[in-house]
Amino acid sequence: MTTMQITLPSTDGRTLAPYTLRGPGAFTPAAPGTRFDRIAFSAAHVVADARAAIDPWLQCAVDWDATIAYRRRLWSLGLGVAEAMDTAQRGMGLDWPTSLELIRRSLDAARDFPGALVASGCGTDHLAPEAARGIDDVIRAYSEQMEAIEKLGGRLIVMASRALARVAKGPHDYARVYDHVLSQAREPVILHWLGDMFDPALAGYWGSSEVSRAMDTALAVIVKHAKKVDGIKISLLDKDREIEMRRRLPPSVRMYTGDDFNYAELIAGDGVGEHVNQRQSDALLGIFDAIAPAASAALAALAAGDKARFHAILAPTVPLSRHIFGAPTRFYKTGVVFMAWLNGHQDHFVMVGGQQSTRSLPHLAELFRLADAAGLIERPDLAVARMKTLLALHGVQ
């Protein structure tokens, strides 16, 4: 392989230094049809239409061909797609009408991949939090999105609601809303508990700022409706809390890790718990969008009983993920899209809502280095050329 070198800014941006790429990692993604022994969803990003004549801060334009092509890539690697979630900038540029169209197109494309997993985000984002007058408004908003997604044949991920967080007066209001939502769901859903590091508007979700009390409320809802809950994804970036909750779930309910800091050990499991779902986590992760080839290879190794290989592949991806999801965590989508651009899965680094501007050049330079260290720069020559374009845009020649 030809040695590739590039000059990159330091982490503080004050100096420049040459960097030599290591190249793609020594792992092979799973072959089509490989069966994993964990359910693994990648929350997938959307590709903006960079040429659309819109006001990018106020309007949403999606490159549908490139967006669906990326989903096809994820399915081909054996990963499921968690559609229209926060990784797709739901609530940060992607509105509900566009989300529904995205869900429709994704479900249609999935028919080309027998057994492909798709689960779709259902929320209340068409109801502005300040417009919600009470709990009944939140219930109606959830019901409207549920009906629209189920009409398309979609499986539901019940997302946390900013409107509910605003109007709820305590745990009883959360119980009331989720009682209604789960009672009317046609088939078991995945619940999503998104921490306020991902969305500050969700602070105090489940009726308490104390995680233990919030967890008690969520578990009470799950136990009451266990037949309507496939699992819960928690995104708190706290592995001990996830393990605690995992051990308390009903035997039939899965824990889908949303911990982009500790996913490897949580997926591998700890062997503690009476039932298998209490000993290990399945996955529904935004980082799987950025590390899809490594995730595919690692899950195949785990399914083959090679836990050492599983950890060897994923261990170098963890520093990359922790960087992408570093505070302010809600801006992690920029790193995910940057990775897709570097690796040639889209032809520009422009995001819905202009979100490409949320991370600094030093942040992106460090991301480049960490991606290479993880073996996730798929085409070094292309990545170097594109990184040089970004550097020049920032005045670094």
Residues 6+ apart with CB under 8 A from 328: 358
* Nearest one of 148, 120, 225, 239 to 179, comparing CA atoms: 225
* Residue 293 is assigned to a structural domain of this protein: yes
* Residue 146 is assigned to a structural domain of this protein: yes
How far is it, in rounded angstroms, from Cα 166 to Cα 233? 21
How far is it, in rounded angstroms, from Cα 46 to Cα 36? 26
* Residue 367 is assigned to a structural domain of this protein: no
| CATH number for the domain that contains residue 214 | 3.20.20.70
* Residue 30 is assigned to a structural domain of this protein: no
Residues 6+ apart with CB under 8 A from 203: 165, 196, 209
User: Domain limits at 207?
Assistant: 37-306
* Residue 392 is assigned to a structural domain of this protein: no
* Residue 135 is assigned to a structural domain of this protein: yes
Strands, E assignment, 32-140? 40-43, 80-83, 118-122
How far is it, in rounded angstroms, from Cα 161 to Cα 370? 34
Helix (H, G, I), strand (E, B) or coil at 123: coil
Give me the phi and psi of 16, to 5 degrees please: -120, 145
How far is it, in rounded angstroms, from Cα 156 to Cα 231? 11
How far is it, in rounded angstroms, from Cα 217 to Cα 324? 31
* Per-residue pLDDT, 1: 45
Number of domains in the chain: 1
Give the H or E element holding residue 37. Answer: none
Return the ∠ at Cα 275 (arms to 209 and 307), rounded to 5°.
95
* Residue 4 is assigned to a structural domain of this protein: no
Each residue's pLDDT, cut to its tens digit, for the chain (397 residues) gives: 456 999 999 999 899 999 999 999 999 999 888 899 999 999 999 999 999 999 999 999 999 999 999 999 999 999 999 999 999 999 999 999 999 999 999 999 999 999 999 999 999 999 999 999 999 999 999 999 999 999 999 999 999 999 999 999 999 999 999 999 999 999 999 999 999 999 999 999 999 999 999 999 999 999 999 999 999 999 999 999 999 999 999 999 999 999 999 999 999 999 999 999 999 999 999 999 999 999 999 999 999 999 999 999 999 999 999 999 999 999 999 999 999 999 999 999 999 999 999 999 999 999 999 999 999 999 999 999 999 999 999 999 8
Residues 6+ apart with CB under 8 A from 275: 251
Distance between alpha carbon 269 and the CA centroid of its chain, in Å? 20
Residue pair 76/117 in contact by the 8 Å Cβ criterion: no
Token digits of residue 77: 């690697």
Full-model pTM: 0.96
* Residue 27 is assigned to a structural domain of this protein: no
